[in-house]
Structure 1
Amino acid sequence: MHFATLFASLALFSATGWAAYVLEDDYFSGNFFDRFAFWDSEDPTHGFVEYQGQKAAADAGLINTTSSGVYMGVDHTNESPTGRPSVRITSNKSYNTGLVVIDLAHMPGSICGAWPAFWMLGPNWPNGGEIDIIEGVNDQVGNKATLHTGPGCSIEQSSDYSGSLKYTTCPSGGDNNNGCQIADDETNSYGTNFNAGGGGTYATEWTADYISVWFWPRGSRPEDVLGDLPNPAGWGTPFAKFQGDCNFGRSFKDQQIVFDTTFCGDWAGNAWGNSACASKADTCEAYVQNTPEAFTEAYWSINALKVYSANGGSASSISTYVATTTSTAYVTQPESSYVAQTTMPTVFPTTLAISTKSTEYPPLPHSTSPVDNSSPSETGTSYVPILESDGSVGYASDTASSPPTNTGGGGGWFSNSNGVVGYSGGHGHDSRDLEAETRDRHARHLKAHTRHGKGRL
């Protein structure tokens, strides 16, 4: 097999291999609520709410599952001096990168005092990250997507999304809880206007390099979005694309899916006096307590919720079959090894082994580095070209070890005593350089945290 064929195969995989996703979880394939845990403790965001357990919520008519969808609402009948009964649920399963798609017939309306959200949450907030996909308060008319992280993440303005950049620094905690935020300029993306249009579909793609969020009003969703093999490359411009000085694979991990509707609290309560809602009551809590009929439309009606993984990979590994014109290859990349890398490969972060069933090495390109072109002493052995995660390319026998890791800025051909021949390609920086750069970048961000706003736990 020629190197030209090898690199042509790599180029094809790089261009197309990561575009498609496969279904990992369909939350409508069984009992929807059995896949979630019900939060029945105090609201971490200090809302005027009484979250109900699953049985209490079902008995009160706050949750229901029918053939047409899933309903989650709030009490809209009784005055509630200790907080309005509602529901907050968290998925039993957590995810590491992927694609989350939800189709909604209805979300809580733009109601004074209400603070609904569909979001994802990692452990040890904010260090595990938080992805707010749908969120708003009071009489808000457009959706706002927000990220919260530990130190070391910021996003930048770009033409890759259609929304409006509100905040660029993602680290949260203490008094600095705005996170980084992009608002959808379309007024039918949230609340009352969303419901008036018959609802719509949200898709969130999360990779190590970016997090994108799309919204399609009813009737405009691309055909493959909820299909077996959705491909975000054909979906057009998202309203939000978070990218910049951040590794989104490290800053967001073990994310669980969350639905909730709370009231007042750290955001809706604090914003009460600055909205038209202030004319309805002196305080947010007084309005929520004494006006149950205002919350008839404060419910979620879900048509579909699916989670997809890239190329069939699970939360711990990604495995994909690749065919070339001359051989068969299998590509496997555990996520744990991907996250631990200090340098990114020039093609993609996998180890590619393509069997050519050859007993001789092909001629190697000219190199000023010494190289042993002799064949190993064993006979009848198959040799395979390999592309390691550090960018090195070479040949190995079935029993040979991997090429040595390149830690310098240059590269050269090498041969090992165990029969490995290859080229160790340089990346321009070693791991010590990158670690120093990372420390400096984190220090810069820690000095920039001066914003105030909402928070999640």
Structure 2
Amino acid sequence: MSFARNFIGLGGLLSLAAQAQGAYTIQDTYDATNFFDGFEFFNYPDPTLGFVQYVDAVTANATGLAGYANDGIYLGVDYETQNPAAGRASVRLVSKQSYTRGLIITDIAHMPAPVCGSWPAFWTVGPNWPHSGEIDIIEGVNLQDSTSVTLHTASGCSFSQDSWSPQDCGTPGDGSQGCGASTDNTQTFGAGFNEIGGGVYALQWTSDALRVFFFPRGSVPADIDAGNPDPSTWGNPTASFSGGNCDIDSNFANHQIIFDTTFCGVWAGRVFGDDPTCAAKATSCEEYVGNNPADFQDVYWLVNYVKVFGEDGGFKRSIAKPFNA
């Protein structure tokens, strides 16, 4: 997929108006009219120790790493600089609002292509990690061809039903490994996702379950397109966590929404040598990422929208504190 990167700045008005939508009520819409008013740029050192330099809004706009393109939100990485000393430039966008329970739906036209050393993710996280939880909706590293859905919590949270992982989501005690569900559907991530023009992901978060749905382009439920989402009609989720001894309300709260692309670090870097294709290219993840800027030209997000819906009587939205961890 190709497109013209015609950036038109980071302006727009953020609308917080709510409109009744059946069981779910629209709370916030982030799209090409307002995305950069609702999200802020994280430009601190990468908590996952990646070979990356997250830039601020002014730098991102001036260098073409973020902006509006093809009626969507473009979030890219530097693919020109040879051997950047501080790591390859990228962006990490964090929502100003935080959310507890509800329904988060995002329509994505393109996600970062799989490249050795890359680590893109779309996720939510609460304060005081991992005690308020983390939900990784889209995530993968290097040449991975399907998404990983992973939960991170403090110790004492595990699930026993659906596409569950029996281990404690606080594993190995600090939540760094977490518990996850996997899929072999190559349309959910990377090259396979981009070949079909992307699709829609939805996180349904209730007090009883956490469910992630994926709909490829051309198979998005009509109720989503109409703005009246009804998860009860969507069939089986891609990943679902319920049952067990995990009190969801105690372990998941006040989450900000995040898009980012990092490189190497504690996951992509750690398993870089396990992929024979990547291992044949360089002796280390950082070496490859530094020496091959042109390989990262297609490592970008093109997001059509993010919409957040609240379930009647079970939704909480708040202004998040500055995200710096």
TM-score range, shorter-chain basis? 0.7 to 0.9
Q: Which residue of 1 aligns with 2:292?
A: 291
Q: Which residue of 2 aligns with 1:54?
A: 57
Which whole-Å deviations, capped at 9, do the CAs of 1:130-157 have from their partners, x for residues lacking one?
Answer: 0000000000001110000112210124
Which whole-Å deviations, capped at 9, do the CAs of 1:406-429 have from their partners, x for residues lacking one?
Answer: xxxxxxxxxxxxxxxxxxxxxxxx
Q: Which residue of 1 aligns with 2:281?
A: 280
Which structure 2 residues correspond to residues 29-428 of structure 1 after superposition, within 5 A? 30-66=33-69, 68-79=71-82, 80-158=84-162, 161=163, 165=164, 168-172=167-171, 177-244=176-243, 245-276=245-276, 277-311=278-312, 314-315=315-316
Q: 2:200 touches 2:217 (CA, 8 Å); kept in 1?
A: yes
- Looking at structure 2, the residues matched to 29 and 191 of structure 1 have their Cα atoms a distance apart, in angstroms, of 23
TM-score, length of structure 2 as denominator length: 0.87
- Looking at structure 2, the residues matched to 256 and 29 of structure 1 have their Cα atoms a distance apart, in angstroms, of 19
Which whole-Å deviations, capped at 9, do the CAs of 1:335-391 have from their partners, x for residues lacking one?
Answer: xxxxxxxxxxxxxxxxxxxxxxxxxxxxxxxxxxxxxxxxxxxxxxxxxxxxxxxxx
Provide the alpha-carbon RMSD of the alignment. 2.1
- Looking at structure 2, the residues matched to 56 and 92 of structure 1 have their Cα atoms a distance apart, in angstroms, of 20
Could you tell me which amino acid in structure 2 is paired with residue 47 of structure 1? G
Q: Which has the higher contact order (CA 8 A, sep 6+)?
A: 2
Which whole-Å deviations, capped at 9, do the CAs of 1:60-101 have from their partners, x for residues lacking one?
Answer: 100011461110000001112320000011100000100000
Larger Rg: 1
Q: Provide the secondary structure at the position in 2 that maps to 1:225.
A: helix
- Looking at structure 1, the residues matched to 61 and 313 of structure 2 have their Cα atoms a distance apart, in angstroms, of 36
Q: 2:103 touches 2:205 (CA, 8 Å); kept in 1?
A: yes
Q: Which runs of 5+ in 1 are unaligned?
A: 1-17, 318-455
Alpha-carbon spacing, 1:312–1:303, altered in 2? closer, same or farther (3 Å): farther
1:24 and 2:27 matched: yes
**What displacement does 1:221 show?**
1.1
**What displacement does 1:22 show?**
1.5
Q: Which runs of 5+ in 2 are unaligned?
A: 1-20, 319-323
**What displacement does 1:168 show?**
3.0
Larger CA deviation: 229-238 vs 169-178: 169-178
Q: How many residues align?
A: 297
TM-score, length of structure 1 as denominator length: 0.62
Alpha-carbon spacing, 1:313–1:249, altered in 2? closer, same or farther (3 Å): closer
Q: 1:210 touches 1:242 (CA, 8 Å); kept in 2?
A: yes
Q: Which residue of 2 aligns with 1:437?
A: none
Identity over aligned residues, as a percent? 47
Q: Provide the secondary structure at the position in 2 that maps to 1:188.
A: helix
Q: 2:61 touches 2:67 (CA, 8 Å); kept in 1?
A: yes
**What displacement does 1:20 show?**
2.3
Q: 1:24 touches 1:312 (CA, 8 Å); kept in 2?
A: no
Alpha-carbon spacing, 1:167–1:300, altered in 2? closer, same or farther (3 Å): farther
- Looking at structure 2, the residues matched to 36 and 316 of structure 1 have their Cα atoms a distance apart, in angstroms, of 15
- Looking at structure 2, the residues matched to 29 and 269 of structure 1 have their Cα atoms a distance apart, in angstroms, of 33
Q: Provide the secondary structure at the position in 2 that maps to 1:178.
A: coil
- Looking at structure 1, the residues matched to 167 and 314 of structure 2 have their Cα atoms a distance apart, in angstroms, of 31
Q: 1:91 touches 1:258 (CA, 8 Å); kept in 2?
A: yes
